[in-house]
Amino acid sequence: MKKALNIITAALFFTFVCMFAVSTFILSNEKPPKPTERSFPKLAEDYVRKSFPLMANWRSLYSTMITAAGQNMIGSVYVSDNGLIEIISKADDKKVAEKVTKINDFAARHERSNIFVLVVPTASGIYSQQLPMIINALDQQKLIDDLYFSLDGRIQTLDAYNPLFSARDDYVYFRTDDRWTEYGAYTVYSKVIRKLGFSPLGLSSYDLEYADRDFYGDLYKETYCSTVRSDFINIFRNKNGSFVTSFSAISEGEEFNSSSIYYTPALATEDKLDVFLGGNSFERYTIKTSNRDAPRLLMIKGRYANMFVPFLTPHYSEITLIDPEQLTDKSIEDLVDVDSYDQILMLYDVSQFC
């Protein structure tokens, strides 16, 4: 009896282990690393982590056990009652200096252009006072102030911190993603648009469309924390109809054309937030509107820009967005004639400096 139970124990262990080990290779879409590659052990471990069967379930089990034990930090993500917050604890001074230099150099090259910079805080900055005092979250307001202070005097700065902080009790950040919501973007738009020379459209000018009521973002996919409610993806539709006449996005010579800036098929995919401008994988986006006499805007975009752009379309005849992250060996000047634009807006979020 004892021997039989011992054999069952060992057999159970090896069956389970072998089953998962074999499935890792069979079910994986990833290409296994070659032993000749540099840092092979790390690559192999990463491959296993990415390809291991039922990964979401393992992560969910881990999160459940950790939160049940009273822990509320999973990696760098804080689990609060209201959602998941990625904690940014410090800025990368080198990155900040590099980015400031790049912005100042760009401004020096285009002296006659109207350049605006908008740095958006992340949820960690807005909700830092609600986090346990032991969690060392970066003072993002100070970082943004310091950053603005280091910019060339010709560059006009826009404040996103205060509007978002004032609206912090509203749905301005996703509960399961590290980006802001459409409403968060609207909150900032309604305050900064005056500095760009326009009057904001009131909330009453929009119809709210619930594009998706069951959205789980990147932070959820990092933690699989089951205690957090799903998010909504809202689309603000202008009551007077869309101003957009054409939308095109280019990446590595391939062009994507549409008459809408909302790419609704993305709602059926893993990355539902790609519904805004088709995602972040393009190097250049061009939006043309029916406001023929309105100014033209060039936007140097970060990940937060996609939700912000829909609110700008009633004010411009053309909006061109360039994503510097997607430019490998090209410069912004290679893609567009910068000086031909009436305004240039650089939109970053704090995580790009950390």
Partner 1 sequence: MNFSGIVFLYFFLPLFFGIYAISKPFMRAYVMLLGSCAVIAWESPLGLIPFSCSVLIAYLGGLGCKKLKNNKKAATALLTVCILPEIAVPILVFVIGASEIGIMTTVGAGIYTLHSISYCCDVFRGECEAVTDPLRLAAYVSFLPSLDGIPLVEPKKTLEAMKEPKLNSEMLADGILLMLFGTIEKVLISDRLAMLFTEMQETSGGELSMIMSWVGAFFFGSAMLCRLKGYAHIAQGFAMMLGFDIGPSFDYPYSKSSLKDYLASYNISAYRFVQKNVYRPIAGSESNHARTLTASTISIITVCISYKPSIPFLLWGTGAALLITIELLADHQLSKIPRPVRYILTHSLTLIGWGIISQKTAVASFGYVSRMFTGALNLDAAPLLYFLSSAGPFVMLLLFFEAKTFITMLKRVSARKVNPIMFIKPFLVFALLVICTAFLLSGGQTASRWEVPIG
Q: 3-state class of 269 per DSSP?
A: coil
Residue 45 makes contact with partner 1 by CB under 8 A: yes
Residue 129 makes contact with partner 1 by CB under 8 A: no
Rounded Cα–Cα distance for residues 270 and 278 (Å): 13
Rounded Cα–Cα distance for residues 209 and 190 (Å): 19
Q: Which of 189, 217, 215 is nearest to 202 (CA)?
A: 189
Rounded Cα–Cα distance for residues 140 and 120 (Å): 9
Q: Which of 288, 301, 300, 281 is nearest to 338 (CA)?
A: 300
Region from 7-15, 147-155, 177-185, 197-205 binding partner 1, contact rule CB under 8 A: 7-15
Q: Which is nearer to partner 1, 71 or 226 (CB)?
A: 71
Residue 62 makes contact with partner 1 by CB under 8 A: yes
Residue 142 makes contact with partner 1 by CB under 8 A: no
Region from 10-18, 285-293, 321-329, 339-347 binding partner 1, contact rule CB under 8 A: 10-18
Rounded Cα–Cα distance for residues 25 and 19 (Å): 10
Q: Which residues pair with 209 in a beta bridge?
A: 235
Rounded Cα–Cα distance for residues 195 and 192 (Å): 5
Q: Which sign, positive or negative, has the C-alpha torsion 326, 329, 332, 335?
A: negative
One of 28, 33, 43, 58 touching partner 1 (CB under 8 A): 58
Note whether 137 and 124 are within 8 A (CB).
yes
Q: Least distance to partner 1 from the beta carbon of 16, Å?
A: 6
Residue 313 makes contact with partner 1 by CB under 8 A: no
Q: Which is nearer to partner 1, 64 or 286 (CB)?
A: 64
Residues in the chain: 354
Residue 20 makes contact with partner 1 by CB under 8 A: yes
Residue 256 makes contact with partner 1 by CB under 8 A: no
Q: Which is nearer to partner 1, 41 or 241 (CB)?
A: 41
Residue 49 makes contact with partner 1 by CB under 8 A: yes
Give the relative orientation of helices 182-192 and 305-312 as an angle to the nearest 10 degrees.
50
One of 27, 71, 255, 333 touching partner 1 (CB under 8 A): 71
How many Cβ atoms from other residues are within 10 Å of residue 159's Cβ?
18
The CA-CA-CA angle for residues 223, 224, 230, to 5°, reads 115
Q: Least distance to partner 1 from the beta carbon of 15, Å?
A: 10
Residue 27 makes contact with partner 1 by CB under 8 A: no
Q: Which of 109, 166, 113, 105 is nearest to 141 (CA)?
A: 166
Residue 32 makes contact with partner 1 by CB under 8 A: no
Residue 37 makes contact with partner 1 by CB under 8 A: no
Q: How many residues bind partner 1 (CB under 8 A)?
A: 43
How many Cβ atoms from other residues are within 10 Å of residue 241's Cβ?
8
Q: Least distance to partner 1 from the beta carbon of 131, Å?
A: 11
Interface mask (CB under 8 A) for partner 1, residues 79-118, using x and -?
Answer: ----------x-----------------------------
Binding region for partner 1 (CB under 8 A): 1-3, 5-10, 12-14, 16-18, 20-21, 24, 41, 44-45, 48-49, 52, 55, 58-59, 61-63, 65, 69-71, 73-75, 89, 132-136
